[in-house]
Every structure is written in structure tokens, then in C-alpha cells.
Amino acid sequence: MLHPVGDLPAGVYWRRRALVAALALSVVGGGGWLASSAGAGSAPDTRVASSTTDVEPTLDAPSLDQVVPSLAAVVTPADAAPTAADPVPTETPADVPVAADPPAPTLTAGQPCTDDMIAVDVVPPAPQAAVGNKPTFTLVVTNTSPVPCTRSLDAGLREVVLLDAAGARVWGSNDCFPEVSSDPRTLAVGEAVSFPVQWGGLTSEPTCTAPRVNPAAGGYQLQGRLDTKTGGTTAFTLV
């Protein structure tokens, strides 16, 4: 190696070796320079990134529950309470149940006359009478039902009473002179049965033990009764 042998002079071979060695050194030197340049160029970037990290901290990304509202806080139209302006739904007449009227009782000809099948009235001989007079009143029982019916019209069940303007009892036809009789009747449709009742012109009460006196002049009312059926009132005046 140190003593090249060839046809050319020895100096030629040494120059060639020197040229190859120089090329090798150039390659090695250039590679080292490139390596040092690359290392030197990357270091500032690292320091800048580190400096940026220290000075300006990165902002954390908002969590999902901050971005998307909670479903519990979202009010849907179905959950919204009606306001005063919102119309309140009401049932239509077709939706409102209608209570059915109870069936009318079946009436049979010849059945007993109930209280709602008859009317009881008192008819005075005149709208007024003098104090102390003894007028005769008429008690009238009428079948107001659409069928004939039966009813006991016994004397002990019939009564005419005189009431003052406040509705207090003044006289009753059965107080002092009660009568007893058996009088069942079959009343035709619309039939009216009349019974005369005379008043003695004095006050009375059911036991007939209180003193009997002439009532004062003024406005009164007459009312008839047949057992449990009580009729309306008729105005009557004493003068």
C-alpha cells in the first residue's frame, strides 16, 4: 500500500491517493456540518415552544355539558303551563254526559190516589166576611191524574184551617167538633168532590181548651187538608 507498483511514476499514484483522501475528508466534514446545523436549528424552536407554553397557557376546551344544554332545562310545548291568553279546553256539549230523567211511574186505573194525583182547595162563600159571622167554606178534592184512582175521603181526614198573615193557626175545623166516617171513593179522571165546612167565627186550637174569641179584623188565609195532602192557600178577609 505504501509502495505502489505500476507502469506510471510513483508520484502519480501518491497524488491520486491524496485526492481520494481529500474527498473523503470533505464528505466527513460536510456531514458533520449538516448534523450540527440541524441540531442548532431545532433548538430555538424547542425553546420558543417551551417559552410559549410557560407564558400563554392553552385554554381548555369547554366540556360537553357546557356546550349542550341539559335536557331537563329544555321546556317542551307539552310541558309548558298554559298562560292566561291560552284558551282553556272545554268539553263540548256532545261530550258532557246528560243525566237521564227518571222514568215516570206507571199509572193503573183503579190504583190508590197518591198525594201527587189529587188537589185540595178551599173555596170561601165570599172573599171577606164580618167579624163574628159564621161563613161556610167548601173543601174540594180533585183527581188530577190521567187515570181513575181510589182515595179515602173520611170526615176525620178532611180539615179546613184559618191562618193569620204570619201563618199562625187561628182556627181548625177538627179542633172542637171532629167527625168520624168511612168514605172510600173512586175518583174519575178530573172528578172533584166538595164538602161544606162551617166555621163558628171563633178561634180554636187542637185541644179546644184555650178560650175561644173572635179574631181581629184583617187579612187571613184558608188552607185545606186531606190526610197527608195539604193544599195551597186562599186569601180571606175579616172586616
Which set of grid coordinates corresponds to residue 153? Answer: 175521603
Q: Is residue 68 part of a domain?
A: no
CATH number of the domain to which 186 belongs: 2.60.40.2360
What is residue 99's three-state secondary structure?
coil
| Residues 140 and 231 reside in one and the same domain | yes
pLDDT value of position 83: 57
In this prediction, residues 43-54 reach a mean pLDDT of 45
- Its domain, for residue 158, covers 111-238
Rounded to whole angstroms, the Cα distance separating 226 from 228 reads 6
In this prediction, residues 214-232 reach a mean pLDDT of 97
Rounded to whole angstroms, the Cα distance separating 171 from 205 reads 6
pLDDT value of position 100: 72
Which of the residue ranges 5-19, 87-101, 175-189 has the most confident prediction, judged by mean pLDDT?
175-189
Rounded to whole angstroms, the Cα distance separating 140 from 223 reads 11
The pTM of the full predicted model, rounded to 2 decimals, is 0.57
Which carries the bigger pLDDT value, residue 24 or residue 37? Answer: 24
Q: Is residue 214 part of a domain?
A: yes
pLDDT value of position 48: 41
pLDDT value of position 180: 87
Q: Is residue 98 part of a domain?
A: no
Say whether pLDDT at 157 is over 60.
yes
Rounded to whole angstroms, the Cα distance separating 230 from 163 reads 14
Q: Is residue 41 part of a domain?
A: yes
pLDDT band at 52 (very low <50, low <70, confident <90, very high): very low
Say whether pLDDT at 57 is over 60.
no
According to DSSP, residue 90 is labeled -
Q: How many residues does the chain have?
A: 239
Mean pLDDT of the chain: 79
Q: What percent of the chain has pLDDT over 70?
A: 63
Q: Is residue 79 part of a domain?
A: no
Total domains in the chain come to: 2
Q: Is residue 23 part of a domain?
A: yes
Nearest to 129 by CA among 169, 162, 174, 172: 162
Q: Is residue 225 part of a domain?
A: yes
- Give the pLDDT confidence of 186-209 residue by residue, as tens digits: 999 999 999 999 999 999 999 999
In this prediction, residues 125-153 reach a mean pLDDT of 97
| Residues 41 and 140 reside in one and the same domain | no
Which carries the bigger pLDDT value, residue 44 or residue 136? Answer: 136
| Residues 129 and 217 reside in one and the same domain | yes
In this prediction, residues 157-183 reach a mean pLDDT of 94
